[in-house]
Structure 1
Amino acid sequence: MDQAQPHTAATLTGDLRALGVVPGDVLLVHSSVKSLGFVAGGVQAVVEALLSAVGAGGTLVVPTHTSENTDPAGWQNPPVPEHWWPAIRSEAPGFDPARSPSRWVGVLPEAVRTWPGALRSSHPQVSCAALGVRAPEVTAEHALTDSHGERSPIGAVYRLGGKVLLLGCGHDSNTSLHLAERSQASPPMGETGAAIRDADGTSRWATWTDLVTGEDDFDQVGAAFEETGAVAVGRVGSATARLMDQRSLVDFAVDWMARNRHSVDVDVAGA
């Protein structure tokens, strides 16, 4: 490690402000905390820096996905024996916003999810957590059949004129591009399932039809968007960070996908 000095919540806040984060922002963050280098106070300091950057009137939003809460019939990483499937479907504890930890989205979302005052949306697979004045609006609606659409936190960030921050990660992690997928004229749809916890504390397996997502071309979409000059690129800590207006990104991606997607291999979430 060749850092001259450790990064701190204060220096990270300064980096975020220099990048273009301003008080009052609704900021959707995708992150690789380890890319920041050594931070005094670790992930807690990173959350404090983000909250300081958006200020008392701002809102921090993170994905708190639970990718293991999907139909085991589609699992590939790794697959499980078919004779296990009925037990997994019947015995898995249903998704609970307060209890179910996020998975495969990094340490920052878990820190935000468990932060005092955090709210979390109700989707059993692709929930989001939020802190700040607009958190109730961001998390209030998350329709089961509209995981990444208008009736989701991603859609709420769009309506609120929010920004996307890629903190040490690329556009392949840019969940807002799924909103562009959902906005296509005829998006691919398929059946999915998850364990859901009802108000009485019991769990049940539910199935529904939703968007079949495909991230294979997200890096291409992001690169094309960056060529327009609409993305601020800079350093936050030791990480390369990208900041962009989410509405501009999504509108660009809707058009890009309509012109360039003809046959895209889709990646159905699995545990």
Structure 2
Amino acid sequence: MKSTEKEVVAQTLAPHTFDSLREALLDLGIRKEDIVLVHSSLSKLGWVVGGAETVVQALKSVAGTIVMPAQSGANSEPSYWQDPPVPASWWPRIRATMPPFSRTSPVRAMGQVVEHFLMDPTVVRSAHPQVSFAAWGTHAETIVERHGLDFGLGADSPLQTLYAREAKVLLLGVDYGNCTCLHWSEAHLPSTPLVRQGASVLVDGKRVWKTFDEYDYDDSDFACLGMDYERQGGFVVKNELGRVVPMRDLCDFGVQWLRKHRTFENFSLDH
């Protein structure tokens, strides 16, 4: 058993099971008619019998449509890499040889629940090479079918469809700092800085390196944003498993909060 697993066991009074997870999700108000954008940390839930598989099965038992961020940040412009950075002399080779994005491209730092979710052949995935979304259930195909290369978390992304369809955001063992939909709020500010990104993709069956415009996203203040949302009367349902918030309400609040709390140096973008 890994040391991290030992720590989880030591901190867990009683293990979660499919039934206990299902009951907790129902207590959070998740129902079959819901579209649910899920963010999760398996280790923060406590010890779960069956691990990520049990979490995914419990989610499927209560929600009609499940969506998870499935970001593959390794397929990106190497000059921006910081964890770790690589020598500039490597950049051309990385751009020339990076495997192209596909349905099975590995996620990076997204957690075991997302990794297991993607193993299901009935789960579909949007086509963005860096910030894709995986979806299962009634509305899965509709949610992932539109995902433009430019501004991957903005108005031409699955987040826009989730916003329009009034999805619920489910935070399992994580806080607002992990809430991907708040990047939608960033994308709807006129002053969010731009970067020129790149990724390896397939075009007519051939691997090519494509460049595109992207926002310079920053989630460092999302936890504060979320706490202010709750303090100022935002709708939220909580229990020991996590919290559920309405995506549209949270994102609209996020736009106003970011306008108030962020400052940029004379930067404007008309997109």
TM-score, with normalisation over the residues of structure 1?
Answer: 0.90
Residue 74 of structure 1 corresponds to which residue in structure 2? 80
CA distance in 2, matches of 1:180, 1:36: 28
CA shift, 1:3, in A, is 4.4
Are 1:124 and 2:137 counterparts?
Answer: no
Query: Which one of the candidate residues 28, 32, 35 is aligned to 2:41?
Result: 32
CA deviation vs aligned residue, 1:164-198 (integer Å, no higher than 9, x gap): 01111111111111100111133322211111123
Query: Which one of the candidate residues 201, 204, 229 is aligned to 1:196?
Result: 201
Alignment of 1:96-175 (within 5 A): 96-97=102-103, 99-175=104-180
CA distance in 1, matches of 2:187, 2:134: 21
Are 1:220 and 2:220 counterparts?
Answer: no
Task: Pick 1 or 2: higher relative contact order, CA cutoff 8 A, min separation 6.
Answer: 1
CA deviation vs aligned residue, 1:1-32 (integer Å, no higher than 9, x gap): 36454311111010011112122110001110
CA contact (8 A) 1:158 1:246 kept: yes
CA distance in 1, matches of 2:235, 2:56: 25
CA distance in 1, matches of 2:141, 2:88: 40
CA shift, 1:217, in A, is 1.3
* Structure 1: gaps spanning 5 or more residues: 265-271
CA deviation vs aligned residue, 1:29-60 (integer Å, no higher than 9, x gap): 11101112221211111000011111xxx100
CA contact (8 A) 1:95 1:124 kept: yes
Are 1:234 and 2:239 counterparts?
Answer: yes
Residue 18 of structure 2 corresponds to which residue in structure 1? 9
TM-score, with normalisation over the residues of structure 2?
Answer: 0.90
User: What amino acid is aligned across from residue 128 of structure 1 in structure 2?
Assistant: F
CA shift, 1:229, in A, is 4.1
CA distance in 1, matches of 2:130, 2:13: 41
Residue 27 of structure 2 corresponds to which residue in structure 1? 18
CA distance in 2, matches of 1:11, 1:199: 47
Moved more, 34-43 or 120-129: 34-43
CA distance in 1, matches of 2:177, 2:15: 29
CA distance in 2, matches of 1:4, 1:178: 35
CA contact (8 A) 1:93 1:197 kept: no
SS in 2 for 1:235: coil
Q: Which stretches of structure 1, 4 residues or longer, exceed 3 Å deviation after superposition?
A: 2-5
Residue 255 of structure 1 corresponds to which residue in structure 2? 256
CA distance in 2, matches of 1:70, 1:3: 38
CA contact (8 A) 1:178 1:213 kept: yes
CA distance in 2, matches of 1:2, 1:93: 40
Query: Which one of the candidate residues 81, 91, 96 is aligned to 1:90?
Result: 96
CA distance in 2, matches of 1:133, 1:188: 36
* Structure 2: gaps spanning 5 or more residues: 1-9, 266-271
CA distance in 1, matches of 2:167, 2:134: 15
CA deviation vs aligned residue, 1:49-79 (integer Å, no higher than 9, x gap): 011111xxx1000011001111111111111
How many residues in Structure 1 have an aligned counterpart in Structure 2? 255
CA shift, 1:116, in A, is 2.8
Q: Quote the sequence identity (%).
A: 37
**What is the Cα-based RMSD across aligned positions, in Å?**
1.4
Query: Which one of the candidate residues 11, 21, 43 is aligned to 2:52?
Result: 43
CA shift, 1:139, in A, is 0.4
User: What amino acid is aligned across from residue 122 of structure 2 in structure 1?
Assistant: G
CA contact (8 A) 1:232 1:243 kept: yes
